[in-house]
Structures are given as structure tokens and as C-alpha cells.
Amino acid sequence: MTNMSNPLLAVRRWAAIGAFALAVFAMSPVLRAADVTIADGSIVAVDVGNKVRLVYAPGADGKPAGAAQTIEGTVKRVLMDAKAILVTVKSAGREKDVSVKWADIKELTVAGAKPSVGSAKKTDSTKPDAGKPAAVNAGKSDGKAAAAPADGKKTVFIMPWEGTVGIGARHDEIKRIAAEADKLGPGQIIVLQIISPGGLVIEGDKIDETLNELKTRHRVIAWIKEAISAAAFTSLHCEEIYFMRVGTIGAITMFAGTESIKGAELEAWVKKVGDVTQEAGRSRWIGEAMVTNEPLLSYDRDDSGNVTWYNTLEGKHKLSDEVQNLTLNADTALHCKFSDGTADTVDELLALLHLDKDKVNVSDIGFKIHETWQKTLNDCLEDKIRIIRDAMNPAGSDDVAQIGSRIKAINRLIEWWDKCPPCLQYESPPVPPKEELEKEIKNLRKQLGDIQRQRRG
């Protein structure tokens, strides 16, 4: 019989279990944020581990409602099938799990998040002429200056926004380029060069808030090579949209797990995308047709180039039927005036923006921001794989050395959690949360102490 009270044997057992656990984490599906629809129709993006405050009344889903209750805690699980949320709360010094149905929730507040509200209702709208706010005189920022340069030239900030939304293409980089533009005062020109196949719902919510705020003080332009799903949602916030000749936009499908959303969730998402499209000066029907197959879309264009939109197929030019949701290429987008022009180079884009390249400063800060984040992301991915390998096969001739190697490897993962969380959470292989890694280090140090005490004894 094995004596599991022997610390040395316990360490060997942990080594086997630890390697197995890391392998399981590598194969586990990535946790994604979920959109929770509460009683009043509001939609709140919730992720496992979020700190939340809930006000709910049991029975509010059609039965007599009880007294409202308030809880604060941490999201343990979002139950999509049961339409419920499981929250871990502390009571009398102890933790307990509370399950609350979405339909019973009157208020749901996520720390640092902003809920989006909506239930679907189509509204007629046509695309007015795209407004193009004038930029104030500004110069090239060196990343430090706080005032406009003396040359009085306008500044154009161009930033590649590339990769999976929430991983390579994030709202963080949009905020960074905005901070650089802010140093020159309001009215700067920010061009997002979008190359993305889409990504995370929760990042789309952050981008929505960031861009809506940014547009109040700067001229924000989308320059599209590939803008699919969440990247299309991002682009639709911009009053000015330009394409590269190979550019595409559309297919804003939202998934819950592996299936596209349906019912009330879908209706609310259709409305949200329609609202964003309309607020940026385009027909809301364009955005709605990008979300799902049901909305129809066609248009007429007269000899003067004026476009009339229909949420039917009565127009001469049919864009979206019931077979698939809408995706636009550069030529079609230009013909229907969804696009403001087509450019493959910075010089071509400046011409379309009516900016003389000799009379403006084109800042390279956006390219540096992009390159810095992409390098961090790539370095993290490469190092993460090496670290996991080291944790699963720790170096050392005895248990003490191997535990030390494993602690060192886990500490490196914790450092990457602070520098590049999207890589650890979403890029395969995913890594356990920082809190779990910290607990594992405590366990390992305790085991190390037990071994050392036994050897001294």
C-alpha cells in the first residue's frame, strides 16, 4: 500500500496530476463572454470572473414577483440553456452560490461595464450625406508633446487594427492612439486601418463605448481591408468608411457557444447594430442585414447618384436575400454609397480626404502602437508554449529542484497575465486564471517546506 503521508511521494503524485491538469487546460474550450438579457430587455455582457451587483425579484418572469433582493459577488457560470446566472457571494464569512434567472433580474451591473439596451423594431431610414467634420490645425506628435506644433499643419494618425478582435485588434490600442491625438487638442484625424476576421463579443461592447466617446472630439475614419463580424461592428461606428480594393465588410453573426443566437437575443443584437449604423449616418437596414438572413435589403440609384434603400427586394440592386446575411465588397459598397471611396495607399486615401500630403503631417505613432502590441502578442504566444512545457517536464535531479523549476515556470505565466492577458486566456493553449496559478504556487511552496523539514528531521 502506498503511504500518501510521505511528502516525497505526494510530490511525485502532484507532478503527474499537475502535468495532466495542464494538458486538460490545453484542450479545454475557451470561455467567452455571454450576453445576458434581463427583465426590461437590457443586454449586459457578462464573463466568468466578473464582479457583479444584482437586483432581482424571484417570480418576475410571469409569476407574482417576490420582494426585490440585492446581491454582490463573482460570476461563477452563465447558464445559456437555463437562462440563469450563477454568482458566488459571501455570507457570514462563507461563500455560497446563488442561481438567478435572467428574467428575474431587474438590475445587473458589471464592474467597469456599460449595458446596451434593446428589443428589435425596424425603423425607416435613408442614408444622408456623410458628415465630414473639419480638423483643427495640428502637427505630428512625438508621443510627448502636449501642445500643437508651430508649423500649423494638420495631423493624420493612421493605425493598423489587425487580428482577432479582443486579441490582436483591441479597444486598448484605439484608446492609445486617441491619447496621442488628444495631446494636440480636439479635432484630430484618426484612421483605423482594419484587417480583422472578427472576434469576441465582450470586446465589441468595449469598442462601442470607446468609439462613441472618441467621436465626440476627433474625426474617426475606417479604412477597410477586411472587416468581418465584430470588426464590421467596429467599422459601422465611423461616419467615414473607405475601402481598399480587396476590402470586405459584413457577416456580423453573434454566437452563444457554437450556435448563433436566436429569439430575443438576436432581436436585441439586430437592433443594436442597426442603431450604430444609423447613428453614423447610414441606413440602419444595412447593419441589420449584416447580422442575420431574415432582413432583406435592396436599393435604387438614380442618374444623379442618389440612393434609395428598401428593407425589401423591390429595389433594382438586390444586396441581401433570405439565403445569407450581407457582406459588401469595395465595388458594391462604393456604388451604393455605403463607402466614401476606395484607396490602396496612404497618398490615395489623403486625396480622398481632400488633404494635400505636403500640407499635413502623417504620424507614424499608430504604426508603432500596432507593432508594439503585435510583438508582445507573438512573444507571449511563443514563450507560453515553452513555459507550459517546462511546467509539465520540470528540470532538476530531485523533487526539490523540480518543484523549484515548476514554481519558476508558473511565475513566468503570472508575469504574462499582467502583460498580455488575451494571449493567455484566448489563444490556444489557454492558461488557468492568475488566481489559480497563485494558489498553485502556494501549494508548491508548502510541499517544498514539508520536504525540507523532513530532510532536516
pLDDT digits (tens, 9 = 90+) for 412-424: 999 999 999 999 9
272 in any annotated domain? yes
Distance CA 414, CA 380 (A): 12
| pLDDT band (50, 70, 90) for residue 444 | very high
- 232 with 128, same domain? yes
3 state DSSP class of 278: helix
pLDDT band at 285 (very low <50, low <70, confident <90, very high): very high
- In this prediction the pTM is 0.65
Structural domain includes residue 43: yes
Alpha carbons within 13 angstroms on the beta-carbon side of residue 286 total 30
Q: Is the link from the previous residue into 429 a cis peptide, with omega within 30 of 0?
A: yes
Do 262 and 275 belong to one domain? yes
Report the number of distinct structural domains present in the chain: 3
CA 175 distance to own-chain centroid: 13
Residue 2 lies in a domain: no
Looking at residue 4, what is its pLDDT? 32
H or E element, residue 195: strand 189-196
The answer to whether residues 304 and 200 belong to one domain is yes
Is residue 152 domain-shared with residue 104, that is, in the same domain?
Answer: no
Residue that wins the pLDDT comparison between 135 and 181: 181
Question: What domain range is 402 assigned to?
Answer: 7-30+370-456
Domain end position, chosen among 116, 145, 175: 116
Band (112; pLDDT cuts 50, 70, 90)? low
Would you list the DSSP string of 217-262? TSEEEEEEEEEETHHHHHHTT-SEEEEEEEEEEE----EETTEE--
**Mean pLDDT highest for which of 1-5, 82-86, 121-125, 351-355?**
351-355
Grid cell for residue 445: 511552496
Beta-strand ranges (E) seen in 321-429 are 327-329, 360-363
- Residue indicated by cell numbers 491538469: 21
Kindly report the number of other CB atoms within 10 A of residue 312's CB atom: 12
- Are residue 62 and residue 130 in the same domain, yes or no? no
Grade residue 130 by pLDDT with cuts at 50, 70 and 90: very low
Ranges 132-136, 163-167, 185-189, 355-359: which has the least confidence: 132-136
Q: CA–CA distance from 40 to each of 37, 319, 346 (Å)? A: 8, 34, 46
Last residue of a domain, one of 91, 116, 141: 116
Of 363, 385, 411, which closes a domain?
A: 363
Residue type, 249: I
> What's the CATH code of the domain at 203?
3.90.226.10
Longest CA–CA separation in the chain, Å: 96
In angstroms, the CA 30 to CA 428 distance is: 8
Reported as a single tens digit per residue, the pLDDT across 150-165 is 466 789 999 999 999 9
**Residue in the block written with cell 461595464:** 113
Query: Do 154 and 211 fall into the same domain?
Result: yes
Contact 166, 199 (CB under 8 A): yes
Confidence of residue 66 (pLDDT cuts 50, 70, 90): low
Buried/exposed 412-433: b ≥16 CB within 10 Å, e otherwise: ebbebbeebebbbbbbebbbbb
pLDDT at position 113? 52
pLDDT of residue 263: 84
Considering the domain architecture, whether residues 159 and 212 belong to the same structural domain is answered as yes
- How far is 50 from 69, CA to CA, in rounded Å? 19
Round to whole Å and give the CA distance between 202 and 44: 9
Q: Are residues 388 and 249 in the same domain?
A: no
Does some domain include residue 215?
yes
User: Alpha-carbon distance 95 to 254, whole Å?
Assistant: 34
Residues 213 and 283 in one domain: yes
